[in-house]
Amino acid sequence: MKYEYEILEKGQLSTGFLKLVRYRLRHRLFAGGWSEEVVRERLEPLRASSVLLYDPQQDEVVLIEQFRIGALESDNPWLLEIIGGHIGAGETPEEVARRESLEEAGCEVLDLLPICEFLVTPGTSGERNHLYCARVDASQAGGIHGIKEEGEDIRVEKMSFADAMDEIYGGRINSTTGIMAMQWLALNREQLQQRWK
Q: Which of 150, 152, 157, 190 is catalytic?
A: 150
Q: Is 85 exposed, middle or buried (0-12, 13-18, 19+ CB in 10 A)?
A: buried
The β-bridge partners of 168 are 173
- The contacts of residue 174 (CB under 8 Å, 6+ apart) are 74, 79, 168
Residues pairing with 39 in the sheet: 24
Q: Note if 150 is an active site residue.
A: yes
* DSSP code of residue 194: H
Q: Contact, 149 vs 125, CB < 8 A?
A: no
Active site residues: 150
